[in-house]
Amino acid sequence: MKVIFCIRDDFLTRVGGDTIQLLNTKECLESMYGIRTLIETEPYKLKESGTDIVHIFNAQTLDLSLKFALNAKNAGKKIVLSPIFWDLSHSLFVTHLAKVGILNIRKGYRLLKKPHDFAIYLLGFLSKKYYFGSKRYINDLTKLISLSDLILPNSPEELKILENTTKIRHLKYKIVVNDVNQKIFKPVAKINNNKTVLIAGRIEPVKNQLSVARALMNDREIKIIMVGAISNKRYFDAILKIAKTRGNIEIIPENISQFDLYDIYKKSDIHVLPSFRDSPGRSTLEAISVGLKAVVSSSAFCPVDFYFRELINKKVFICDPYSIYSIRSAILKALATPSYGESIEFRFSCEKATEQTFNAYKEILT
């Protein structure tokens, strides 16, 4: 069996969840099942003979992913899609707030979201740009889904959002879990309990690092570590300003290796990701695998039920990303909950995700 993996051309320089998911899948498919794989970033190069499957990663890069699908269909290939999808309306909203200089998100701003969503829908009739929720976006997403022979959502919640967005019912799908490489992110025997909060992710409004710093402004005994490449310079400058005032904030503004990230996990107590969109946040799964507690956003923003249901208020604590008071409360509750360093009984290994992916491939080839 030979598979072409299709992804954006900056997947190695702008590392995201789709990058790690592709690389982990590639490595495990080759080692576990001997599948030959090739990575392609140019849609017009999908005519290679002898390829059984074209596997497209990330429906959120919709224009590119649709081009991959159209070229694959014209070449007579079977198409598998890992959507890595979620409701992007909240992340689009806070990104637009940041563009007009509103970086300090407050709970009251949520009242503006519905008018914003309606404006985006109307703008979709006037602009050629892709906006989540616009008619053009929905039409092209529906086309991408319809062209795919099999959809591999990372959770039942993701599947439901895809169905609600496209209005397509009874999609042909197989759930493939978001995975963690436990050869790297191994459980540690003992967590430090030294009041250290880690946030791993791109530094941008969607990941909401600034709200964490504001939430803990008066809790200066709690150390904050932020790790991630700068995606929004203006937002990063606002974080630097509050870090200078508060103190006890360490920032590593770059992508680091997974091995270096593991070392930082081991020095931390909890991982906080009050994101406005994640599915579910690979760094959260990595942290839990190591043995840390985690703070995540509620079910409107990530698939809480599928990934964390048994862990709520034990190892995982829920917050409202619009509220710094909710974020602070969840962090303090997590810090006050005893931690024994054990990882969860892990359902989200690379091996499990690869087995599910391989079975999906076999299904469409029979």
Please check whether residue 296 is in contact with residue 302, taking contact to mean a CB–CB distance below 8 angstroms: yes
Contact between residue 90 and residue 116 where contact means Cβ atoms under 8 Å apart: no
Neighbours of 80 (CB within 10 A): 26
Q: Rounded to whole angstroms, how far apart are CA atoms 71 and 66?
A: 9
Q: Are 155 and 307 in contact (CB under 8 A)?
A: yes
pLDDT over 90 percentage in the chain = 73
Residue 282 has pLDDT above 90, yes or no: no
In whole angstroms, what is the distance from residue 272 CA to residue 209 CA?
9
Averaged pLDDT score across all residues of the chain: 91
Q: Cβ distance 15 to 57 under 8 Å?
A: no
Determine the pLDDT at residue 183. Answer: 86
Confidence at 56, pLDDT banded by 50, 70, 90: very high
Question: If residue 306 lies in a helix (H) or strand (E), which one and from where to where?
Answer: helix 304-308
Distant-in-sequence, close-in-space partners of 74: CB < 8 Å, separation ≥ 6: none
CATH 3.40.50.2000 range(s) for the chain read 2-86+136-178+349-365, 196-336
Please write the tens of the pLDDT for every residue from 294-336.
Answer: 999 999 999 999 999 989 999 999 999 999 999 999 999 999 9
Tokens of 65: 């992913």
Asked if 80 and 54 touch (Cβ cutoff 8 Å), the reply is: yes
Confidence of residue 341 (pLDDT cuts 50, 70, 90): very low
CA–CA dist 184, 194 (Å, integer): 23
> Is pLDDT of 84 > 50?
yes
**What is the residue whose two structure tokens read 């005032």?**
245
Could you report the per-residue pLDDT of 159-174, keeping only the tens digit for each?
999 999 998 888 899 9
Nearest to 190 by CA among 337, 340, 345: 340
* Cα angle: 175, vertex 131, 296; to 5 degrees: 50
Q: Please check the confidence at residue 345 and state whether its pLDDT lies above 60.
A: no
Write out the two tokens for 92.
């689009």
Give the architecture-level CATH label for domain 196-336: 3-Layer(aba) Sandwich (3.40)
Task: Provide the token pair at 74.
Answer: 């014209």
What pTM was computed for the model? 0.90
Cis omega (within 30 of 0) on the bond before 280?
yes
Residue for token pair 């630097």: 240
CATH 3.50.50.100 assigned to domain 2-86+136-178+349-365? The reply is no
pLDDT, tens digit (0-9, with 9 covering 90-100), for 124-140: 777 766 678 788 888 99
125 vs 276: which has the higher pLDDT: 276
DSSP run (H or E) holding 209: helix 209-215
